A and B are shown apart, each in its own frame.
Chain A
Amino acid sequence: MDFTYCEFPSTVSIDTFKAYFNPNNVRLPNINSKSLEQFQPETGEGQANQAKSLRHLVLDAIVSNWCELPLYRQLSRRQDRNYLLTQLDTQLPLQLLSSHIRDDYFWRRSYELRWRMAPFQPRGRERRWINIYMERHVQEFIENMQTGDYEQDGNVQAALDICATYINQLEINRLQPAPPGSESNDHIPLDYLLSNLPDLRRLRLSYSSKTAGIHYQTGCNQITARDILLLAKGLSQCHELRKFCLHNTKLLSYQLRFLAHSLDKGCHHLKELSMLHCAVGDAGIRCFLETCGKESFATLTVLDLTNNKITDEGAYTLSRTLVHVPLVRLVLRLNPIQSDGAAAIFHTLQTMPIRELDLAACSITESITKLFMMLMCQQKTLLSIDLSNNDLGEDFGKHLLKIINCNKMLEDLDLRNTGLSLAMRRKFQEILLKNSERKKHQAMKQQKRDRFNSMIKL
């Protein structure tokens, strides 16, 4: 088998290829993707002396003049297109490329050439490489934009024209601070950008800057009133937003009010809300929840409030409001809510289909023991609980050992650094392992039964 002249860059995955051909007696094209490189040690030198075919010469000519005459769809043969995709210069204007080429292989190549490493894609949930490229492009565009460079009708509009339709998720890890001489610490306005990304589903945002340098001034990492107003305005236009994460940005209570309002009114499909390391505090939580009505955040399933200085008071207000929210995952890591707050949270858990609960480093003491035992016996949906770094003590372990067999659902219980002995943790782990194995077994049985039933039906 000789595929030397068949340029197939990305259409065939290596697994498929291996399933159908023995790589030892197949000659592969030497130009393209690295995934096939390992199977072709000797094919390199054979072609160096060969004259290029006329087809390749023509295609080369097309490639070299592509800037003036973009021919892609006009090439009807797949091989020609593949060759073109392997040879085309990725430095050409983005607009030209994006308007003519959608092929995954090309965009993956562009991505690799621009950022060295292409990210792995989870199997079964592959996304278009053009989307990934454009997302990264917009991310860099936003992250590197100086506040003075922002021109709504100029560069921003141009970038949006090219990319807006491809953006599904956006991860902005930093924003450039205002120049040192300016009066305010405003960052670039995000309202226009966000409201012009119609398909935005995930947004991860941080107003911090990674590098301080000599231009550091107080508050340059903080979000200002104007910033929060514009952000809220933009968010209220993101109707498709599913996941929103704001991290490493200090939020004041009044700012949370705007945020809650816009998220509640604008994003009707919001499923995940994360505010990591935002120093919200009890007052912030109160403000946030005051703005919400009973019906708001009805679709929210994940709430992550890691490291937000929430005390037992905040936990109490939170637990009162969360009764109506069908949360699946709740994270309150690094918040000193103490046993009282934990008790309030436990009480609320009874009404929601919670699966994961993270209360690590929450300054919970052994006074929670009784309540936790009750939770273990009653809760039937929890799969994983993280209680690490809490002072629970040996008695807690002893009580838990008695009662843990009641719960057949729990698969994971993290009790590191809680004052329990290693042996005890070992035992718990074994029990939980059995739980999970049993569940797996049951699932297998159920599967078999289903298959059998379907066979009978047939």
Chain B
Amino acid sequence: MDNDNKDDEDVEPENANTELDGDAESEDEPEAEPEDEPVEVDSWQSFQAHIDSLVVNEKCDKPIRLLDERRQTIVQRVRQIQRDTPKGFSERAMSQMSKIDQQLELSSTRLGQLVRFGNELVTNIRVANERRELNRRVFETTQQRDMKRMLDGENIEAMAKFDNIKARWTELNEINEPMLLWDQIEEQKKRIAAIMDRKDQMIASCQQEIDRMNAKYEFDRQRQAADLCCLVERIDNQVETLKESYKYHLEMLRHTVEDERHTFSLTADEKWRTFFNALNTNFEEKSKLVRVREQFYSLQLQLLQDSQDELTKQTRVRLEKECERLELELRRTRDNVLMNSEKLDYNYQVLQRRNDENTIITNQQKRRVARLYETVARTRRNYKQVFHSGRRTIMKLTTEIQQLHGSISEMEAKAMHTRNINREKFNRVWNINYEEITGLLARIFEIDRILHEQQLVMPWKRPNIHIENINKPVEKRVNNAMDRIERRFGKLPKQYGGSGYTASEDEEKHRGPMQELPPETARLMRNILRKLADRGGFLIEERLLKILKPYSEKEQTMVRIDNIFAALRIRNLDHVLELTKVFEPYTYCPTCQPAGLSPMKCAEVFLKDQRESRSLKLGDVNNPDQALLKGKNDGKTFLVKGHVNKETCSNHYLVMEPALVLHAMNVFTKQKHKQIYGSSSESSLETELIQFNDKEIQAFWRQFTNIFPDSKTHLWKTLEHGLNHYVEVLKMRVQYDAEVVFLRRQNRELRHLLQKFTV
């Protein structure tokens, strides 16, 4: 309890002190300004009075009183020092600085002193308080130690006495005498009372000590309160004075600054004024000088002007003359210029008009161009449309054509079918008729023979009537179907002897060595062959061409021709000859016909060819043989013609238009084809048709009417007449015979009846 209280007591004043110190310092620092004598004195006096009263108070400690005395002396000394401030050093230093700096220095020193003083004044309380605390602690510790020592001593003493009493109690146990015992007990009681007294005394002293401490605490508390009051007052005063002094110094500083500014402005004014004055005087002097100079110059100028006037007069006269001349010239040139300008104007106008026209024209052109563009676009569009429509129509037409082709082929098939049917019918009818007529003829011949032998009893001779049947049946063709197939596959029918065809045997006779050929044909052939090699490339495999590249031209031609021949199925010299024959009409002699193969001829060749093919294709159905013959004839004539040509210019190379090579080749292949497979489909078709006309048929049938001579018919008529009579007679006879038979049977029956009756 005690301890805590003390602690609290210790703690609180210090805390308060420190806090207040802090406040004071924090307030002191930002401001800092000089002192104000009367105010300070006042405040100090009040302080002193207060502190004196405190000091006078007898309860104050001795050191504090000393402290206060010291403080007073310090204050006096400080005041003394401030009063007679050493003027030597400070003024010397100040004179070097500006007034503001001086003032600042002064203020800072003064204020620093003041602040330090104030600080000391405030901290003094703290120091005093600490000293007091320290003293208290020392005093308390000594007091405590004394007290403790006393208590310890008393304790030991009391313990000794207590032990004594305790020892006595054991002794008392042994005493049996009551009186003695009582006495002893009384003594013990006295002793105990003494101890108790002693204890009471101790307690009392302790109580006293506590009282003292309480009193001390109370006193300390009061003093602390007083101290705090004092401190607060001091701080307030200090703050006040510091504020005042700071304000004062600030004011002073401001004044000095103002003064400084003022003096500075004055000096500056002065400086500038002298400067301006000097400037003015200088200026006046200069102006005088200038004036004198001006006069001098004006005189000079006058002189110069006079001389110049003379000069100008002369020159003016001269110049005027020149001027007149120039004026004349000028007038002339002006006229010229006027003329020119008019011309130019005219030209300009013309040009302008032309320009206008040009613009109009260009506009028109532009318009036209635009129109053209439009038309171009339109035509393009039209073209596109037409193109599209054309394509569409083409497509349509192709489809139509295809359809038509289909229908044609159908029609053809139908036609073929009907043709076959017709033919069959025809054949059947024909055969029936023919058989009938032959039967009739045979019967006639039989009857005639019978007539001759039986009636006339004449030897009958068969009349030689031979009418050939023009419509022979065609059953051979049917047998040929197999052959045809075989022929397609390239085998020769056995009919022809198995090897080659019949014609080959005949041709073999003509085959001979190359040398036998006429030289011109050989030359022509070489030419043709080379052309073929060049033109017939499409017949050769592409790979071969690649392989051939490195070889010489001759070798290349060789291989190429070989290949082409293989493709064309040319196997021997005869074929080659045939080829040349085909090619001859397309050749010409460059020396004799320098113009080359005339276009007319070319056209002719083409047209002929085409007609040929067309005639072949369309071919008169009724007489295909004729057409064929005709074509053959044509070819022959043509060949002959070529031959004639060739003969005309012997010893000349014959040349051929390369364009015609292919054509010729085409012709050759066709020919070849025809040769090998006969007249193919067309010929087969021809055989199926009726190969004779109405007249022939009529003639054929009319033959039969005139087959018997008139005598024979007459004979037959008479014979018929007689025989008819004879038939009549015979018929009568038959009748009579029948009547006789009947009558006989009737007679027999009647006889029978009679017999019955007779019976």
Binding site for B on A (CB under 8 A): 120, 122-123, 208, 218, 221, 247-248, 250, 276-277, 279, 306-307, 333-334, 336, 360-361, 363, 388-389, 414, 416-417, 422, 426
Quick one: given A361-B134, A363-B134, A389-B127, are A120 and B14 in contact (CB under 8 Å)?
no
Cβ of B7 under 8 Å from chain A: yes
Q: Assess whether B10 is in contact with A277, with CB atoms less than 8 Å apart.
A: yes
- Residues of chain B from 98 to 136 with CB closer than 8 A to chain A in the complex: 123-124, 127-128, 130-131, 133-134
Quick one: given A218-B4, A221-B4, are A416 and B127 in contact (CB under 8 Å)?
yes
Q: Assess whether A416 is in contact with B124, with CB atoms less than 8 Å apart.
A: yes
Q: Assess whether A422 is in contact with B63, with CB atoms less than 8 Å apart.
A: no
Cβ of B70 under 8 Å from chain A: yes
Our pick among A276, A334, A416, A426 for the contact of B133 (Cβ within 8 Å) is: A334
Our pick among B14, B67, B77 for the contact of A306 (Cβ within 8 Å) is: B14
Quick one: given A334-B14, A360-B127, A361-B133, are A417 and B63 in contact (CB under 8 Å)?
yes
Q: Assess whether B11 is in contact with A422, with CB atoms less than 8 Å apart.
A: no
Chain B residue with the shortest CB-CB distance to A222 = B4
Q: Assess whether B130 is in contact with A388, with CB atoms less than 8 Å apart.
A: yes
Our pick among A122, A208, A248, A307 for the contact of B30 (Cβ within 8 Å) is: A122
- Docked complex Cα distance between A306 and B4 (Å): 18
- Residues of chain B from 67 to 112 with CB closer than 8 A to chain A in the complex: 67, 70, 73-74, 77
Q: What residues of chain B lie closer than 8 Å to A336, measured between beta carbons?
A: 137
Q: Assess whether A417 is in contact with B133, with CB atoms less than 8 Å apart.
A: no
Our pick among B1, B30, B131 for the contact of A389 (Cβ within 8 Å) is: B131
- Per-residue CB contact flags for chain B residues 691-717 toward chain A (1 = under 8 Å, else 0) read 000000000000000000000000000
- Docked complex Cα distance between A127 and B127 (Å): 34
Binding site for A on B (CB under 8 A): 1, 4, 7-8, 10-12, 14-15, 18, 26-27, 30, 63, 67, 70, 73-74, 77, 123-124, 127-128, 130-131, 133-134, 137
- Docked complex Cα distance between A110 and B67 (Å): 46
List the 3 closest pairs (A to B, CB-CB), nearest first: A277-B11, A361-B130, A416-B127
Q: Assess whether A277 is in contact with B14, with CB atoms less than 8 Å apart.
A: yes
Q: What residues of chain A lie closer than 8 Å to B7, measured between beta carbons?
A: 250, 279
Q: Assess whether A389 is in contact with B11, with CB atoms less than 8 Å apart.
A: no
- Docked complex Cα distance between A102 and B165 (Å): 84
- Docked complex Cα distance between A452 and B597 (Å): 120
Apart from A120-B27, A361-B130, what are 20 other A-B pairs with CB-CB below 8 Å? A218-B4, A248-B15, A276-B15, A277-B10, A277-B11, A279-B7, A307-B14, A333-B130, A334-B14, A360-B130, A361-B133, A361-B134, A388-B130, A389-B127, A389-B131, A414-B127, A416-B67, A416-B127, A417-B131, A422-B73
Q: Assess whether B130 is in contact with A248, with CB atoms less than 8 Å apart.
A: no
Shortest distance from the beta carbon of B426 to any chain A beta carbon, whole Å: 122
- Looking at chain A's contact residues, the main secondary structure is loop
Q: What residues of chain B lie closer than 8 Å to A361, measured between beta carbons?
A: 130-131, 133-134
6 A-B pairs (CB sep. < 8 Å): A120-B27, A122-B26, A221-B8, A248-B15, A307-B14, A361-B134
Shortest distance from the beta carbon of B81 to any chain A beta carbon, whole Å: 10
Q: What residues of chain A lie closer than 8 Å to B131, measured between beta carbons?
A: 361, 389, 417
- Docked complex Cα distance between A360 and B8 (Å): 20
- Docked complex Cα distance between A307 and B8 (Å): 12
Chain B residue with the shortest CB-CB distance to A360 = B130
- Docked complex Cα distance between A416 and B11 (Å): 22
Q: Assess whether A426 is in contact with B130, with CB atoms less than 8 Å apart.
A: no
Shortest distance from the beta carbon of A255 to any chain B beta carbon, whole Å: 16
Q: What residues of chain B lie closer than 8 Å to A123, measured between beta carbons?
A: 30
- Docked complex Cα distance between A416 and B77 (Å): 17
Quick one: given A361-B130, A361-B134, A416-B124, are A218 and B14 in contact (CB under 8 Å)?
no
Quick one: given A388-B127, A389-B130, A417-B131, are A307 and B10 in contact (CB under 8 Å)?
yes
Chain B residue with the shortest CB-CB distance to A277 = B11
Q: What residues of chain A lie closer than 8 Å to B15, measured between beta carbons?
A: 247-248, 276-277
Shortest distance from the beta carbon of A13 to any chain B beta carbon, whole Å: 14
Q: What residues of chain B lie closer than 8 Å to A416, measured between beta carbons?
A: 67, 124, 127
Q: What residues of chain B lie closer than 8 Å to A276, measured between beta carbons?
A: 14-15, 18
Chain A residue with the shortest CB-CB distance to B73 = A422
Q: What residues of chain B lie closer than 8 Å to A221, measured between beta carbons?
A: 4, 8
Q: What residues of chain A lie closer than 8 Å to B70, measured between beta carbons?
A: 422
Q: What residues of chain A lie closer than 8 Å to B12, measured between beta carbons?
A: 248
Chain A residue with the shortest CB-CB distance to B137 = A336
Q: What residues of chain A lie closer than 8 Å to B77, measured between beta carbons?
A: 426
Please indicate which of the listed interface residues A123, A307, A336 has the most CB atoms of chain B within 10 Å of its own CB: A307
Chain B residue with the shortest CB-CB distance to A306 = B14
Shortest distance from the beta carbon of A393 to any chain B beta carbon, whole Å: 14
Q: What residues of chain B lie closer than 8 Å to A417, measured between beta carbons?
A: 63, 67, 127-128, 130-131
Q: Assess whether B134 is in contact with A120, with CB atoms less than 8 Å apart.
A: no
- Docked complex Cα distance between A122 and B124 (Å): 26
- Docked complex Cα distance between A120 and B11 (Å): 27
Shortest distance from the beta carbon of A204 to any chain B beta carbon, whole Å: 11
Chain A residue with the shortest CB-CB distance to B113 = A433
Q: What residues of chain A lie closer than 8 Å to B130, measured between beta carbons?
A: 333-334, 360-361, 388-389, 417
Q: Assess whether B11 is in contact with A248, with CB atoms less than 8 Å apart.
A: yes
Quick one: given A247-B15, A422-B74, are A389 and B134 in contact (CB under 8 Å)?
yes
Shortest distance from the beta carbon of B288 to any chain A beta carbon, whole Å: 48
Q: What residues of chain A lie closer than 8 Å to B128, measured between beta carbons?
A: 417
Q: Assess whether B11 is in contact with A307, with CB atoms less than 8 Å apart.
A: yes
Shortest distance from the beta carbon of B183 to any chain A beta carbon, whole Å: 50
Please indicate which of the listed interface residues B12, B15, B30 has the most CB atoms of chain A within 10 Å of its own CB: B15
- Docked complex Cα distance between A361 and B132 (Å): 10
Q: What residues of chain A lie closer than 8 Å to B134, measured between beta carbons?
A: 334, 361, 363, 389
- Docked complex Cα distance between A217 and B67 (Å): 40
Please indicate which of the listed interface residues A120, A306, A389 has the most CB atoms of chain B within 10 Å of its own CB: A389
Shortest distance from the beta carbon of B550 to any chain A beta carbon, whole Å: 93
Please indicate which of the listed interface residues A218, A361, A363, A414 has the most CB atoms of chain B within 10 Å of its own CB: A361
Shortest distance from the beta carbon of B140 to any chain A beta carbon, whole Å: 12
Shortest distance from the beta carbon of A444 to any chain B beta carbon, whole Å: 11
Shortest distance from the beta carbon of B390 to any chain A beta carbon, whole Å: 79
- Docked complex Cα distance between A410 and B606 (Å): 141
Q: What residues of chain A lie closer than 8 Å to B123, measured between beta carbons?
A: 414
Q: What residues of chain B lie closer than 8 Å to A218, measured between beta carbons?
A: 1, 4
Shortest distance from the beta carbon of B4 to any chain A beta carbon, whole Å: 7
Q: What residues of chain B lie closer than 8 Å to A363, measured between beta carbons?
A: 134
Shortest distance from the beta carbon of A226 to any chain B beta carbon, whole Å: 20
- Docked complex Cα distance between A426 and B7 (Å): 36
- Docked complex Cα distance between A363 and B134 (Å): 8
- Docked complex Cα distance between A334 and B14 (Å): 10
Chain B residue with the shortest CB-CB distance to A333 = B130
Chain A residue with the shortest CB-CB distance to B120 = A416
- Docked complex Cα distance between A416 and B133 (Å): 15
Q: What residues of chain B lie closer than 8 Å to A122, measured between beta carbons?
A: 26, 30
Shortest distance from the beta carbon of B167 to any chain A beta carbon, whole Å: 41
Shortest distance from the beta carbon of B239 to any chain A beta carbon, whole Å: 12
- Docked complex Cα distance between A208 and B124 (Å): 28
